Amino acid sequence: MADTSDFRNGMVLNYKNSLWAIVDFQHVKPGKGSAFVRTKLKNVATGKVVEDTFRSGERFEEVRLERRDFQFLYVDGDFLTFMSLETFEQISLPRDTLGDVAKYVKESETVSMLLRDGVPVTVEAPNTVELKVAQTDPGLRGDTAQGASKPATLETGLVVQVPLFIEEGEILKIDTRTGKYLGRV
């Protein structure tokens, strides 16, 4: 068990029956009343960020998560199969529990998986990925209004806004945290 004086950024707590990572915290001692801790918490599974306040000295269960690298092997219906790069064991996870990760990874790419007692909690894609443009409308010559963009469908099915000069077959660098186009490769 850990209390509010043990808080540190990155610490994972079991709070409200789910796992939350501390993004930011601040101990506050007002002139009147008791001290409290203002925190920003990120849900480990969904990525949702909330702000919450705790009384000073409140106790929580600290959770130890293990981060391991896995290779994405293939899609089998509604399941994605990953292989541990250390033990070569394979794990199949339902697509709906992975969130947007399935849109960013291609076969044979490496992802980070957070495990709690050997059970997968969440999968994290790398910060940037390189994906090929599968379909996009052709850019028109002279149609170069400042900041103009068009939608492009990438090889994994992800749709991103790209500049007008991007054509089918080009490989793009995409930020997985924001889902935005970063540049051509």
Q: What CA–CA distances, in Å, run from 164 to 35, 102, 104, 109?
A: 55, 26, 22, 29
**Beta carbons of 184 and 170 less than 8 angstroms apart:** yes
16 pLDDT higher than 90? no
Q: Report CA 180 to chain centroid distance, whole Å.
A: 14
Distance CA 114, CA 51 (A): 23
List Cβ neighbours of 145 (8 Å cut-off, separation of 6 or more).
none
Q: What CA–CA distances, in Å, run from 125 to 42, 52, 181?
A: 17, 27, 16
> What's the angle, vertex CA 43, arms to CA 58 and CA 158, rounded to 5?
170
Q: What is the pLDDT of residue 123?
A: 86
- Domains of the chain, earliest start first: 2-62 (2.30.30.30), 66-124 (2.40.50.140), 128-184 (2.40.50.140)
Span 50-72, average pLDDT:
90
User: Residues 94-152: pLDDT tens digits?
Assistant: 887 777 888 888 888 899 888 888 888 888 888 899 999 999 988 766 656 566 788 99
Span 80-97, average pLDDT:
88
User: Residues 19-55: pLDDT tens digits?
Assistant: 888 889 999 998 888 999 999 998 887 778 899 999 9
**Phi (first) and psi of residue 96, to 5 degrees:** -70, -20
Q: What is the pLDDT of residue 145?
A: 59
77 pLDDT higher than 80? yes
Kindly state the tokens that stand for 60: 């929580």
Determine how many CB atoms are found less than 10 A away from the CB of residue 163: 15
pTM for the complete prediction? 0.72
| pLDDT class of 83 with cuts at 50, 70, 90 | very high
